[in-house]
């Protein structure tokens, strides 16, 4: 991990750390990431930006990609940052996720319960219910344009890793995925033909049900602030939680 002032990050710093997890695009150059990083640094935070597998020019070394269930990757990054830069130094670790990153953070906090390493987490544009959100996104995102654009971006990103995957993946699964990408038109298709077989699910509904969080939010023991927009074209405002189940 590098310090923004150059060289390796100091183990003796006392500033709180903000760990940021991007949305679906997963890039370090997203404008919303740059803006949050600037504001966080100005407020006295050290910032860690976690990139999703296969983004930002990172090569795949295992037959695995990122998706809505990638909270195990976040867990690994969290344990590294906390164990190396927070635990002995008594520094506080905070988190911030956007869209897919917000969803992954939510799953992480649900899984960790009272064992969370985070002092607090902010989540912007949390998806909660992928089945409802993707149906809404396909219909409302400028007549489906954004859903198509995200799907094509993910398709192109994944196709760029096919040469790597061919060397490390089961040949039958590789062939299924390589031919499946040719059928991808939008983001929902990408989930159908790439994420579902790669995860070993029977269909898209099983995948979306596994990613569902609305009935598990009560298991979160870390202070979590969700910021949602009523006119968001990804998340249907009708599904937003107003009360938690006991």
Neighbours of 35 (CB within 10 A): 10
pTM of the model: 0.92
CATH number of the domain at 17-239, out of 3.40.630.30, 3.40.50.1820, 3.60.15.10, 3.40.1190.20?
3.40.50.1820
Looking at residue 94, the DSSP 8-state letter turns out to be E
pLDDT in tens, 63-74: 999 999 999 999
Paired tokens of 70 = 């990638």
pLDDT in tens, 77-94: 999 999 999 999 899 999
pLDDT in tens, 170-227: 999 999 999 999 999 999 999 999 999 999 999 999 999 999 999 999 999 999 999 9
> At residue 27, what are phi and psi to the nearest 5 degrees?
-95, 155
Taking the C-alpha atoms of residue 18 and residue 53, their distance in angstroms, rounded to an integer, is 20
């Amino acid at each position: 991990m590098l310090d923004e002032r150059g060289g390796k990050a100091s183990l003796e710093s006392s500033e709180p750390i903000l760990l940021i997890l991007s949305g679906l695009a997963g890039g370090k150059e997203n404008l919303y990431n740059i803006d949050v990083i600037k504001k966080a640094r100005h407020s006295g935070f050290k910032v860690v930006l976690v990139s999703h597998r296969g983004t930002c020019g990172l090569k795949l070394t295992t037959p695995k990609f990122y998706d809505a269930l990638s909270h195990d990757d976040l867990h690994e990054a969290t344990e590294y940052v906390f164990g190396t830069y927070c635990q002995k130094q008594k520094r506080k670790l905070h988190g911030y996720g956007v869209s897919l990153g917000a969803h992954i953070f939510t799953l992480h906090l649900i899984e960790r319960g009272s064992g969370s390493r985070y002092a607090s987490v902010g989540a912007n544009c949390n998806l909660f219910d992928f089945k409802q959100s993707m149906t809404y996104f396909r219909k409302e995102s400028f007549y489906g344009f954004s859903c198509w654009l995200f799907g094509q971006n993910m398709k192109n990103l994944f196709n760029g890793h096919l040469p790597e995957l061919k060397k490390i993946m089961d040949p039958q699964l590789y062939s299924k995925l390589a031919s499946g990408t040719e059928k991808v038109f939008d983001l929902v298709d990408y989930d159908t033909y790439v994420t579902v077989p790669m995860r070993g699910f029977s269909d898209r509904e099983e995948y979306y049900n596994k990613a569902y969080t609305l009935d598990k939010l009560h298991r979160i023991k870390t202070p979590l602030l969700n910021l949602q927009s009523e006119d968001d074209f990804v998340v249907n405002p009708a599904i937003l939680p107003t009360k938690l189940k006991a």
